[in-house]
Structure 1
Amino acid sequence: MPFLQETDFEVQIRAWIKQIITQRKEDVGHKAELAAQAQMESYLRQRYDVKKIFSATDNDRDALIIMYMVDITIYHLHSNIGSDLIPDIRVIRFNAAIDWLKAVAKGDISPDLPEKEEPKEGEEGSGFQSTEFGSNKKYSERY
């Protein structure tokens, strides 16, 4: 199930413009959305639980995540027409989204997102390793 809903785009782009840039193909919009999600996850993964963030539905979804994901998705949809033809507002909003993601990744901004749970000791990925110290039994080689 996609994270974004059709109504999420209404705030930032008119329906007829979206139809033009998606070439009236549903899979084009879906692929751009998946690319935007993957791009966002790459910045958020270190500190936040991206599975929880992007599996949220309806009103449980974070408004900033929705806004920036729409910005990135629309930018990717415009990219197929050529970089010199992308509207300036799309470039500005895309750069703002990336700047926000970089600030979140660095820890300069702390959005209200579910944080990544640290694995418990002994679980895979916990970084805990057991080490044994000792040596072999000593043998004498004299006759």
Structure 2
Amino acid sequence: MAGVVVLALGLPDMFASLDHGGHIDVRVMVFGYVVMRLSMLFLWMLAGRNDPDRAPVTRGGFVLVTGVPLSPEQRAVLASRGTEVLEVAPGSALYKWLADGKAAAALVRPDFTVLRVARDVAALCEAAPNFVVA
């Protein structure tokens, strides 16, 4: 709500700058918009962290969803970078999703957005960012 108030407080400055011509002053309005987006981001992060259905899977970090078994070395690399491994069974919905995308694995961010998909699991393991959750 504070962001909307700040945005509204910027309206008179914007209309005054239109009356005078030249540069349009929207600095206060942009600041209000940024406040709104930052508060929304905070709320999404809070909701994601407290989602009981997904919390055990990600534990707040990256997840490698794979349809092929990983070697112990690949698992060690991922563990050192704070990435969880989720091996999906053939025939499952996630396995079908990977197969439909012609991928062997997908790297999923903590906000459940797919960061990268690949056919080469080794390359995807190496591409996993260092994200150790304290």
Q: TM-score of the superposition, structure 2-length normalised?
A: 0.28
Structure richer in helix, relative to its length: 1
Instruction: Tell which structure's C-alpha radius of gyration is larger.
Output: 1
TM-score normalised to structure 1 length: 0.26
Instruction: Flag the structure with more relative contact order, 1 or 2, with Cα contacts below 8 A and sequence separation at least 6.
Output: 1
In proportion to residue count, which structure has more strand? Answer: 2
